[in-house]
Structure 1
Amino acid sequence: MLLPKNRYILLIVCVGLLLGGTALSASVQTGLGTVIVEEPNFQAADGSTIHSTLQRPIYATSADPLPGVVVIHGSLQNKEWLMAFGIELARRGFVVLTIDANGHGNSDPGTGSGSAALDYITSLDYVNSSEIGLIGHSMGGGISWSAIEESSVTVNALVLIGSRVPSNPSSVPYIPNMLVTVGSFDSLSSYPANQTPLEPAFGVPDVEVGVTYGNFSDGTARKLVIANTNHLFETIDPVIVGESVEWMKESLKNGVEDSYWVSSDNLLFPLWLFGGFISVTGAVLTIFPLLSILLTLPFFNGLKEKPDTEYSAENKTYLVWGSIYGVIGIGTFFPLLAVGLILNVVIPFPQSYGLPVISWILGSTLIAALVLFVKQKNDSGLNWSKIKEKTFTKNIEKFSKIIVLAILVMLWLYGWTLVVDLGFALDLRCFLPGFNDLTTMRALFVPIYFIPFFVYFLVDGMWLMGILRPQEKASDIYSTIQWSFKAAVIKGLPYLIVIGIEFFGGLILGASLVPGLIGYSFLFFYAFLPWFIACSVIAVVTFRLSNNYYLGAIINALITAWLLATILSFR
């Protein structure tokens, strides 16, 4: 597909994107050289290991200790989701400890991660243990309240993002200076529409948005901030991040803007996100020249084969059946997710939402396979034998080499993930889930998730490169680009439409269109959308390189199994 010289140039360019994006994110995370970044582990009271990112201004010393802030993410997330707060606070003179909560990221299952984080940060001699703040998003807010109750450390400032406030203040030991922030269409919060539940904790009737109540000096300061966003994007909303920075300044620095202070309007974290996008995009793009190079090796040379062009879908077939296939995926999500949640009651699967996702993947695959079978059976013009034989091969030697090739691609991606993690304390990601290093426990779940995803992507290939195979163009590169675009549209457009309705509908109305846990489940659409698109392109390129569905199916199954194993939390 690529000229011999071009494939090496393309690989170098893609690796350059990976490293360039990483360098940009690393420079932002280190405050352009003013912050030292480490990833320490420490123990909770129950013996569980807590993984974290520690950002320390270079001028923080035992002689001149700085205020400390602990940042805690929400459910089905990890510390990278809230890195915006660490970036912006550390470059303004705070020592920031952003943790993976118990059972999330690289932390062990257990309890007590919040209180352990408070104990750890106050044990550092360059931290002023009498000036401590907490930031918690969603579930992280609940962990913050538990930490206040369990730890002997006094918390002076609390920022709750899309999280609850106790309706009975006496149910917690104390309430520090408290900033409550929430998205106007947060599906899990009633505060944007009803501020009455906040009145006991605020100590005033008729709480108004944007008004600061009480005093910072005696710990009675309270404020409600509502930003135009949903639950997922609250942690990268500029208004929420900026207000949180100001709150910590007023609470922990007595409002003083020293020589290191930067205006809260001057935010760097978007560049961190952009760098992450460039790096993870570069990582995915390296797959294509790498495969092209590996297929020239004598061991894999027999796998390289031009794609069949005898069959191609007519425009009507593409539009009608492409739409049907797209609807199958998104239309089965909630019913099959519910089936998985019911199965979770009787089957103690260790990872939350693991069985629901498996139920959705396998159930939608079965439906897609049945529809495909009926379609070919009733369509005399469809050359089914040419499509089917690409899947049901009997060449064991060829299949074994395909497996080896796919594993090499996986190891290539994982190797770069380790380089970025160990060398720069970063992941290959842009806010949404990306390539994370695997703990031993999480690695054990990759084979489990691989099986349903392999079946899914095998049937997916039969749809995208089979019944919906586009026409071949004069140029090989042009054909690859066109096929990739069409496949990405089929896979991604239904999710993009639903996400667009949820997000922009909420943005316009200022309220969640789908409240409660169903609205919260849209998190999966946001998480899967970019990877479904990427996997569609991988399916196209691998088919055009090898004329079989297996290579793309195995690579895509390995990637998505890896992603899911790192996303889901342990119960």
Structure 2
Amino acid sequence: MNINRKHVAVVAVALLLVFGGSALAYWGQTTGGDVDVQQVDVETADGGTIDGYLYVPDGVTADDPAPGVLAIHGYINSKETQSSFAIEYARAGHVVLAIDQPGHGYSDPPAHAHGWGGPPALEYLANHELVDEENIGLEGHSMGGWAAVSAAAEHPDSYESVALVGSATGTAGAPEGDETFPRNLGVVFTEYDEFHWLMWESETAPTTPESEKLQSVFGTDEAVEEGQVYGAIDDGTARYLSMPATTHPGAHHSPTAVAETVDWTVETLEGNEDPDGQLWYWKELGTALALLGGVLFLFPAVEALSRTGPLEGATRTLPEPIAERNRGWYVAAVLTALVPVVLYYPAMLLGSEAVPVTAVTPQSETNGIVLWALANVVVIAALFGLWHRGSGRSLTDERYGLDVGEGLGTIGRSLAIAAGAVGGLYVLLWVVDAVFMTDFRVWVFGVKLMSDLHVRIFLTYLPALFAFFVALEVLLHGRLRTAETTDSLPWAMATNALALTGGFVVLLVIQYGVLFATGALAVPITALQTIIAFQFVALLPVVAVVSTYCFHRTGRSWTGAFLNALLVTWVIVASQAIHYPF
């Protein structure tokens, strides 16, 4: 193995970001060591388990219990997305239980079971020796709010107040609310919430105070006044509305939304305090730095493995390009940016709704992503067929990078390089999880370890996504690779990242430009898929730069296709909800 100082330096920076960022995240999550964070298991009626983090402030004992808070995330999120709320609740003196909903994270499937996990989690918290059982609040974001309301309905004597963040009563089968149920209700509903039509049945997010559904819960026939307390806390009829100027997922990272949520619980429970400022953002900054370090680690890992004696056969000299930067190239580049976006909503909606949930296809949203990926493969193949008509070229042309050199040995070595790099990243995350109890994350995009069940699901979705990445490699490094991007790796990375991500950026600009101007998305029914598109914007640039680096390093498409298939399938499967009842 021959690694130069430059790559040693990159490894050092990557590890510094991973472990330095994770240490910062740990400091933020434990508020400087003042809060003990423990992993706990909540048993369900059918013998399954719900995974959770229990945040215990210093000084809390069985002899001196503290008020408790159950914090529940929304759909296709996990307990880590509740960190901003959980950390601030713990700073205010609460014992906080943040759970993975059923079918999410490390909780047993299927999703939506057991009242979205709310009732058994509240029962666990109320019976915990460190918690004042007569002094418990519930908080839930989005679908987590339905879990909180379900918990309140099933255990009416086990809670004192509820804070719904971007959520509502009486939605998707959750219990209906009125002016007395749930007890002491705080509603933090953002000014630009994408799900206004689903939650409170309002025409736009800003007109939510005029919603008849909200008014019925507040016991008024007039528009609800933001910041005004309706009813009385002492008799459990208090109602409060706050509308921070952010979006549905933005509530996780809004200091105003976090403050309003925590303040409502502090006001409605006893024995807590209202600390100065907020600290949760240090945890978020730390996990973001760790994520950056993890991505950076992949490059020297590929470099080192591809230079290792037995694996060197996977590499060859970078081939000459086929494409020229002419009018045809610009047409191809525009299609590369637009076709995936045109296919996005139809494929995602059809895949998540029409593809049956089975043991082979157990994740609804992943089904949509896979259908989208395969639709792209079909379109890429069709366009390549048109481009090659009469040209006499073949995909076996070495300039595409699909040649197999020594046959299966070359493909096997390429897979070994990719698996070694992704495996190294997985080991880094395993160490971070074991030492710091954090993951690699920025906002709602996270890289988590897989459970045994996730690994099984990973293997079922991997072939389809591998086919997509093979097609993508041919597109980026065949049809779009020019002399300029062959000679300059940075220019190639930037060009490919723009080609893959530009269309989704435009999509989000349009959707949110309309939302901010009118109070509703351009296509409101696509709210979930629009929010998922943020994760595409985070992931596709990584796909582009990793793919480009692998092609320039090995001269072939196989390593990049394998690496991205392994990485992206891992990220998707570990982050999506499991709907099949394994």
TM-score past 0.5 threshold: yes
| Alignment-derived partner of residue 498 in structure 1 | 507
CA drift at 1:514: 2.6
The equivalences for 1:11-22 within 5 A come to 11-22=11-22
Q: CA RMSD in A?
A: 2.4
Partner SS state of residue 365, structure 1: helix
Note if contact 1:184-1:511 (Cα within 8 Å) is conserved in structure 2: no
Note if contact 2:179-2:216 (Cα within 8 Å) is conserved in structure 1: no
| Alignment-derived partner of residue 247 in structure 2 | 230
Distance 1:488 1:40 in 2: 41
Distance 2:566 2:515 in 1: 35
Distance 1:177 1:149 in 2: 13
Q: Deviations over 1:400-457 (max 9, x none)?
A: 1111121111211111111111211111111223221111111111122211111111
Q: Unaligned regions of 5+ residues in structure 1, if any?
A: none
Note if contact 1:391-1:550 (Cα within 8 Å) is conserved in structure 2: no
Does residue 180 (structure 1) correspond to residue 187 (structure 2)? The answer is yes
2:212 paired residue among 180, 192, 196: 196
For 1:390, give the aligned amino acid: L
Note if contact 1:70-1:134 (Cα within 8 Å) is conserved in structure 2: yes
Distance 2:170 2:352 in 1: 28
| Alignment-derived partner of residue 469 in structure 1 | 481
| Alignment-derived partner of residue 128 in structure 1 | 132
CA drift at 1:243: 0.2
CA drift at 1:25: 1.0
| Alignment-derived partner of residue 262 in structure 1 | 275
For 2:437, give the aligned amino acid: A
Partner SS state of residue 137, structure 2: strand
| Alignment-derived partner of residue 93 in structure 2 | 93
Distance 1:447 1:3 in 2: 33
Cα distance change, pair 440–80 in 1 and its aligned pair in 2 (3 A): same
| Alignment-derived partner of residue 238 in structure 2 | 221
Cα distance change, pair 481–315 in 1 and its aligned pair in 2 (3 A): farther
CA drift at 1:13: 1.1
2:122 paired residue among 113, 118, 122: 118
Distance 2:230 2:146 in 1: 23
Partner SS state of residue 74, structure 2: coil
Does residue 148 (structure 1) correspond to residue 152 (structure 2)? The answer is yes
| Alignment-derived partner of residue 351 in structure 2 | 340
Q: Deviations over 1:473-525 (max 9, x none)?
A: 79x7xx11111011000001110111122234323433333313x12211221
- Of the structure 1 ranges 188-197 and 33-42, higher mean CA displacement relative to structure 2 is found in 188-197
Partner SS state of residue 32, structure 1: coil
- Of the structure 1 ranges 343-352 and 133-142, higher mean CA displacement relative to structure 2 is found in 343-352
Q: Deviations over 1:300-350 (max 9, x none)?
A: 122232312354431544432111111111111122234424542586732
Note if contact 1:390-1:547 (Cα within 8 Å) is conserved in structure 2: no
CA drift at 1:212: 1.6
Distance 1:448 1:161 in 2: 35
The equivalences for 1:277-292 within 5 A come to 277-292=288-303
Note if contact 2:321-2:399 (Cα within 8 Å) is conserved in structure 1: no
Q: Deviations over 1:352-393 (max 9, x none)?
A: 223222211101111112112211325689998343452566
| Alignment-derived partner of residue 380 in structure 2 | 368
Cα distance change, pair 8–46 in 1 and its aligned pair in 2 (3 A): same
For 2:576, give the aligned amino acid: L
2:567 paired residue among 556, 559, 562: 559
Distance 1:43 1:280 in 2: 32
Does residue 507 (structure 1) correspond to residue 512 (structure 2)? The answer is no
CA drift at 1:62: 2.1
Q: Unaligned regions of 5+ residues in structure 2, if any?
A: none
Note if contact 2:53-2:99 (Cα within 8 Å) is conserved in structure 1: yes
- Of the structure 1 ranges 376-385 and 100-109, higher mean CA displacement relative to structure 2 is found in 376-385
CA drift at 1:55: 0.9
For 2:311, give the aligned amino acid: F
Distance 1:372 1:489 in 2: 21
- Of the structure 1 ranges 490-499 and 318-327, higher mean CA displacement relative to structure 2 is found in 318-327
CA drift at 1:270: 2.3
CA drift at 1:177: 0.9
Cα distance change, pair 467–382 in 1 and its aligned pair in 2 (3 A): farther
Note if contact 1:89-1:96 (Cα within 8 Å) is conserved in structure 2: yes
Note if contact 1:80-1:431 (Cα within 8 Å) is conserved in structure 2: no
| Alignment-derived partner of residue 65 in structure 1 | 65
Distance 2:364 2:321 in 1: 45
Distance 2:354 2:485 in 1: 47
Note if contact 1:376-1:384 (Cα within 8 Å) is conserved in structure 2: no
Note if contact 2:149-2:169 (Cα within 8 Å) is conserved in structure 1: no
Does residue 450 (structure 1) correspond to residue 462 (structure 2)? The answer is yes
Note if contact 1:21-1:278 (Cα within 8 Å) is conserved in structure 2: yes
Distance 2:412 2:362 in 1: 31
Cα distance change, pair 155–293 in 1 and its aligned pair in 2 (3 A): same
- Of the structure 1 ranges 407-416 and 119-128, higher mean CA displacement relative to structure 2 is found in 119-128
Partner SS state of residue 309, structure 1: coil
Cα distance change, pair 337–400 in 1 and its aligned pair in 2 (3 A): same
Instruction: Give the percent of matched residue pairs that are identical in Structure 1 and Structure 2.
Output: 26
| Alignment-derived partner of residue 212 in structure 1 | 229
| Alignment-derived partner of residue 142 in structure 2 | 138
The count of aligned residue pairs is 560
CA drift at 1:228: 2.1
CA drift at 1:136: 1.0
Distance 2:170 2:471 in 1: 49
Partner SS state of residue 389, structure 2: helix
CA drift at 1:166: 3.8
CA drift at 1:76: 1.4
Distance 2:257 2:373 in 1: 35
The equivalences for 1:315-334 within 5 A come to 316-334=327-345
The equivalences for 1:319-468 within 5 A come to 319-341=330-352, 343-345=354-356, 349-377=361-389, 385-388=397-400, 390-391=402-403, 395-468=407-480
Partner SS state of residue 20, structure 2: helix
Distance 2:374 2:571 in 1: 17
For 1:435, give the aligned amino acid: V
Partner SS state of residue 456, structure 1: helix
Cα distance change, pair 52–153 in 1 and its aligned pair in 2 (3 A): farther
Cα distance change, pair 514–398 in 1 and its aligned pair in 2 (3 A): same
Partner SS state of residue 133, structure 2: strand
The equivalences for 1:4-83 within 5 A come to 4-83=4-83
Note if contact 1:145-1:172 (Cα within 8 Å) is conserved in structure 2: no
CA drift at 1:14: 0.8
Distance 2:67 2:28 in 1: 21
Cα distance change, pair 420–379 in 1 and its aligned pair in 2 (3 A): same
Distance 2:341 2:534 in 1: 12
| Alignment-derived partner of residue 103 in structure 1 | 103
Distance 1:498 1:365 in 2: 21
Cα distance change, pair 262–346 in 1 and its aligned pair in 2 (3 A): closer
Distance 1:515 1:210 in 2: 27
Note if contact 1:74-1:138 (Cα within 8 Å) is conserved in structure 2: yes
